[in-house]
Structure 1
Amino acid sequence: MLDMELETPQGLRVTVPTQLLYRAQDPLSVEFLFHDIRLGPVPWTFARELLTRGLLTPSGDGDVRVWPTGTGAEALLHLGLSSPHGSAHLTTALKAVERWLCRTYQLVPSDREVEALDLETRLTRFLEEGA
C-alpha cells in the first residue's frame, strides 16, 4: 500500500491509500487501485511502459499523464488522470514507485512481455463476453 496525495480543485491535499498491482499474465499493464471511503476501490489501468517513461520525463496524453519533479529523496511522481466524470492530480514519492516498478521488471523483463501474455485466456474471455 502506498499513500498518494490528491490535490483538490480548492487546493486542499487529501491522502489516498493506493495499492499498486501487477499481474504477470498481463505484463504490459499496471493498475493503481485507489481506496476511496465513499466510492470504494477505484481502479486505473494503464501501460507499464508509460509509468516507466514517466519516472524520467513527462509522458502520456489523454486520460493518463505521468511526470517527475524534484531530485533525490524529495523527488515526486505526478499522476494526472482524466475521465468523463472529472480529473485528478495525485503525487507520491517517486522512489517508492520506482522500487515497485523494478520488482515488476524482475518478475517479467521487458524483453519477455510478449511471451508472458496469456493470449489464450484473453481470447477465450473476449469470445465468451461477445456471445
Structure 2
Amino acid sequence: MANSAPTPRTVWCTLHLRLVVSSDSTLPVPVELRYAPTDPYAVHTTFHTGAEETTEWVFARELLTEGLRRPTGTGDVHIWPSHSHGHPVVCIALSSPEGEAALLEAPAGALRSFLRRTYAEVPPDTEHHHIDTDSLANFLDTVWRSND
C-alpha cells in the first residue's frame, strides 16, 4: 500500500479588526478568513459591516504574509506592519474605484497564526500542485469553442 500525503484542509479563522474612524476612534469589525487549498494563492475574507451586511474581499496569501514584515501592495490594497496602543498590528488600507477607502488594523499575532496554518496545509511554492488544471483546460476549451 502506497503512502499518500493527507489531503489539505480548508483553514478558517475569525479575527476582530478595528476600522480606523479618526486618529483617536476605531470601530470593531469581525472578519472571517478562509483559505481553501483548491484556491491556493488566495485568502477569502468576509467583513461583517452591519447587522446583516457583509463585504467580500480576496487577498493574495503572499501579500498578507509580506505585509506582516514590510509595506506592500499596489492599487486598491496596501498592507504594512505597525503598532497600535503598544500592540503589533497589520494595517490594511482598502480603496474602491468609487473613491471609498477604509483603514483597518488586524492583530498581527492572530493573522500570523492563521497564515502559518495555511502554510502547514499548502507549503510555499507548492500552490501550483493544488490547482485543478483539468477543470481549467475544460473551461478554456468551452470558451474557445463558443467563440467559433
- Deviates further, 91-100 or 61-70: 61-70
- Rounded to whole Å, the distance in 2 between the matches of 1:127 and 1:14 is 48
Larger Rg: 2
Residue correspondences, number = 130
* 3-state SS of paired residue (1:88): strand
* 3-state SS of paired residue (2:126): helix
Q: 2:128 aligns with which of 99, 111, 114?
A: 114
- More helix by proportion, 1 or 2? 1
| Structure 1 pair 69–124 and aligned structure 2 pair: CA distance change class (3 A) | same
- Residue 102 (1) aligns with residue 116 (2): yes
TM-fit CA distance, 1:66: 0.8
* 3-state SS of paired residue (1:121): helix
| Structure 1 pair 29–10 and aligned structure 2 pair: CA distance change class (3 A) | same
Is the Cα–Cα contact under 8 Å of residues 4 and 18 in structure 1 kept in the other structure? yes
TM-score, with length taken from structure 1: 0.86
TM-fit CA distance, 1:8: 2.4
Deviations 1:56-97 (A, max 9, x none): 0000111111100139x8111110111123111000210000
Which residue identity lines up with residue 96 of structure 2 in the other structure? S
* 3-state SS of paired residue (1:70): strand
| Structure 1 pair 124–41 and aligned structure 2 pair: CA distance change class (3 A) | farther
| Structure 1 pair 21–129 and aligned structure 2 pair: CA distance change class (3 A) | farther
Identify the residue that residue 82 of structure 2 maps to in structure 1. Answer: 69
- Rounded to whole Å, the distance in 1 between the matches of 2:39 and 2:101 is 26
Q: Structure 1: where are the runs of 5+ without partners?
A: none
- Residue 48 (1) aligns with residue 68 (2): no
TM-fit CA distance, 1:110: 1.0
- Rounded to whole Å, the distance in 2 between the matches of 1:29 and 1:107 is 13
- Rounded to whole Å, the distance in 1 between the matches of 2:81 and 2:30 is 20
Is the Cα–Cα contact under 8 Å of residues 68 and 77 in structure 1 kept in the other structure? yes
- Residue 2 (1) aligns with residue 15 (2): yes
- Residue 23 (1) aligns with residue 36 (2): yes
